[in-house]
Amino acid sequence: MKILLTSTSFQDTPGQHQELLKKQGFTVDILRGPVYEDELLLIIQNYDAVICGDDEYTEEVLKRGKEGNLKYISKYGVGLDKIDLIAAKELGIPVTNCPGVNQVSVAEHVMALILCFQKNIHLQHQTTQNASWKRLIGNEIFGKTIGIIGLGAIGKELAKRANAFGLHVLAFDINKDEVFLNDHKEITFVNDIKEIFYGADIISLHVPHTKQTEHLISKDVIFNELKKAPIIVNTARGKLVDVDGIIEGLKDYKIKGYLTDVLETEPITPNEKLIGVENVIITPHVGSRTYQSVERQGLMAVNNLINMING
C-alpha cells in the first residue's frame, strides 16, 4: 500500500510510532503539512491511505481520492474540522482520529502559558538576554477563578491542575459528566456559559471548531459580557475567537491577555494580525507536541490505519 504521511509532529519525533509504521511494509511518502486543497488535488488519487494532520480534506479532495486509490484516512490528533466527514461517509472512506491521548500535554501547556504571562517570564527572559536587570511585578494565580469552556478530556485534566494551583474552577459543557463531577466536587459546573463570562478571571477554550462555536468569543461577548477583563487562553482552534475583537478588547482593557497556541491561518504568516500586539503570547501549535504525547498519538494513528485495513 502507498501511504501519505503529513503530520509534522509524527515526522519530527523519534519513537515507537515510527518503528510500527516501518514494520508494516508500506510505501510511505512524506509531505510537511498542513497540506492545502490545491496541492492535495494533484496527488491524493495516488495514495491508498493517509496519516494526516490538519490538512484540507474537502469534498473535492475526497472525490478526487475516491476516483483513484484512496480508501482510508487516519487523522493524527483529535480535531476533525478540516475533514469533510459528510462527504467521506457518502464516499465510503472511513476516517479515524486519536482521542484521549494528548490531554495531559495540552493541559500542562495551558498552565505554562498562564504562569508565563502572569509572572512576566516571557518579558523578563527578553530583558536579561539584553543584559538588563529591569524587574517587572507579576501576579499570583492563587485564589483566582478559571472558567473552562469544554469539559472534555483536556478540560478535565486542566480542571484538576488548576485546582491544585489554588484556582477556583468553573466549567461549562453541553454535556454534563456526572461521574467526573461527583469525583471532583471542587469543580463548579455551570449550565449557562454566561456565568463563565461574568465570573472568570481566566477563560480557557476546549471545544471543537464548528458553525456553532465559530467566534464563540465574539466582539459582542468581549465588550458586553466579560466582567473581569479576563485572560483568554486558546489551545483549541483559532476560529473560536474573533481576532479583531480580541485586539480591540486588549486595547480597551476589556481583556487582560490573549494566550494562544492556535491561529486562524497556520503556519503563521507575516501579516498575522496578532503579531506585535501587546499582552499576546503565541506558541506555534505545540500544546500536544511532547515526546510522550506524540508517541501515543502516533501509535494510535498507525494502529487505527492497520485496523481499518484489516477490517
Let me know whether 141 and 236 are in one domain.
Answer: yes
Can you tell me the distance from the alpha carbon of 44 to that of 67, in angstroms, rounded to the nearest whole number? 10
pLDDT given at position 99: 95
> In the annotation, is 186 catalytic?
no
The string of DSSP letters for 272-285 reads -TTTT-TTEEE--S
Per-residue pLDDT of the chain (311 residues), as tens digits, is 999 999 999 999 999 999 999 999 999 999 999 999 999 999 999 999 999 999 999 999 999 999 999 999 999 999 999 999 999 999 999 999 999 999 999 999 999 999 999 999 999 999 999 999 999 999 999 999 999 999 999 999 999 999 999 999 999 999 999 999 999 999 999 999 999 999 999 999 999 999 999 999 999 999 999 999 999 999 999 999 999 999 999 999 999 999 999 999 999 999 999 999 999 999 999 999 999 999 999 999 999 999 999 99
The string of DSSP letters for 175-226 reads S--HHHHHH-TTEEE-SSHHHHHHH-SEEEE-----TTTTTSB-HHHHHHT-
Let me know whether 55 and 129 are in one domain.
Answer: no
C-alpha cell at 88: 467521506
Catalytic residue among 39, 59, 248, 266: 266
Quick check: pTM over 0.85?
yes
Catalytic residue among 17, 64, 285, 289: 285
> In the annotation, is 67 catalytic?
no
Let me know whether 114 and 46 are in one domain.
Answer: no
pLDDT given at position 84: 98
> In the annotation, is 135 catalytic?
no
Let me know whether 115 and 261 are in one domain.
Answer: yes
Catalytic residue among 206, 237, 289, 296: 237
Give phi and psi for 234, each to the nearest 5: -130, 105
Let me know whether 234 and 305 are in one domain.
Answer: no
pLDDT given at position 228: 97
Let me know whether 276 and 306 are in one domain.
Answer: no
Can you tell me the distance from the alpha carbon of 162 to that of 107, in angstroms, rounded to the nearest whole number? 9
pLDDT given at position 201: 98
C-alpha cell at 189: 459546573
Full domain range(s) for residue 218: 103-282
Can you tell me the distance from the alpha carbon of 63 to that of 45, in angstroms, rounded to the nearest whole number? 9
Let me know whether 128 and 275 are in one domain.
Answer: yes
Let me know whether 119 and 71 are in one domain.
Answer: no
pLDDT given at position 43: 98
pLDDT given at position 185: 98
Q: How far is CA 41 from the centre of its chain?
A: 26
Based on the structure, what is the number of domains in the chain? 2
Residues 6+ apart with CB under 8 A from 42: none
Can you tell me the distance from the alpha carbon of 151 to that of 228, in angstroms, rounded to the nearest whole number? 22
Residues 6+ apart with CB under 8 A from 249: 219, 222, 223, 226, 255
Let me know whether 94 and 108 are in one domain.
Answer: no
Let me know whether 89 and 31 are in one domain.
Answer: yes
Element (H, E) at 293: helix 291-310
| CATH number of the domain to which 123 belongs | 3.40.50.720
Let me know whether 117 and 62 are in one domain.
Answer: no
Let me know whether 107 and 94 are in one domain.
Answer: no
Residues 6+ apart with CB under 8 A from 241: 205, 215, 216, 217, 232, 234, 258, 260
